[in-house]
């Protein structure tokens, strides 16, 4: 089986094009699946707010009240003082309502991004864009 020089050259070119196409596909897939650090921070804040929601609902069902939480007085409840990430958290309680807030200045411009969850909403809502 003798393959001509031209056929071998065409096979090499086709192989090179296939390899280039594969590399480009991998780059595109990476771009669409890779999360930035800011996206990770936002996701972490949303998960934390959902945990706070669950904690508040459990506390209310056991004690009849919501629990006010902030770093200064009882941050150890949620390990707020040694948590990772840029967001700070607090829970404000007024009567039979609570609002849990996650706040961070992600790009250092002095404007904070704020996410909140309360007793009526099971999913965090972005209140202010950074």
pLDDT tens string, the chain, 130 residues long: the values are 566 767 766 767 766 666 666 666 566 665 555 556 888 889 999 999 999 999 899 999 999 999 887 767 666 666 655 566 788 888 999 989 999 999 999 888 889 999 999 999 999 999 987 6
In this prediction, residue 16 carries a pLDDT of 62
Sheet holding 113-118, edge to edge: 88-94, 97-104, 113-118, 121-128
What is the model's pTM? 0.68
Contact 85, 78 (CB under 8 A): no
Q: What confidence score (pLDDT) does residue 43 get? A: 92
Cα–Cα distance list, 79 to 15, 40, 66, 82 (Å): 55, 19, 18, 6
pLDDT of residue 12: 73
Residue 108 confidence (pLDDT): 85
Quote the pLDDT of residue 54. Answer: 93
Q: Residue 85 has what pLDDT? A: 77
CA distances from 107 to 30, 72, 86, 91, 110 (A): 24, 25, 11, 24, 8
């Amino acid at each position: 089986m003798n393959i001509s020089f031209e056929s071998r050259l065409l096979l090499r070119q086709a192989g090179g094009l296939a390899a280039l196409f594969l590399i480009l596909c991998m780059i595109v897939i990476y771009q669409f699946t890779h999360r930035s650090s800011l996206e990770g921070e936002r996701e972490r804040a949303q998960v934390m707010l959902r945990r706070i929601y669950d904690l508040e609902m459990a506390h209310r069902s056991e004690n009849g009240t919501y629990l006010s939480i902030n770093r200064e007085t009882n941050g150890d409840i949620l390990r707020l003082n040694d948590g990772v990430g840029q967001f700070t958290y607090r829970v404000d309680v007024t009567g039979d309502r609570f609002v849990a807030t996650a706040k961070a200045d992600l790009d250092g411009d002095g404007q904070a991004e704020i996410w909140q969850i309360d007793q009526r909403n099971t999913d965090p809502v972005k209140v202010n864009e950074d």
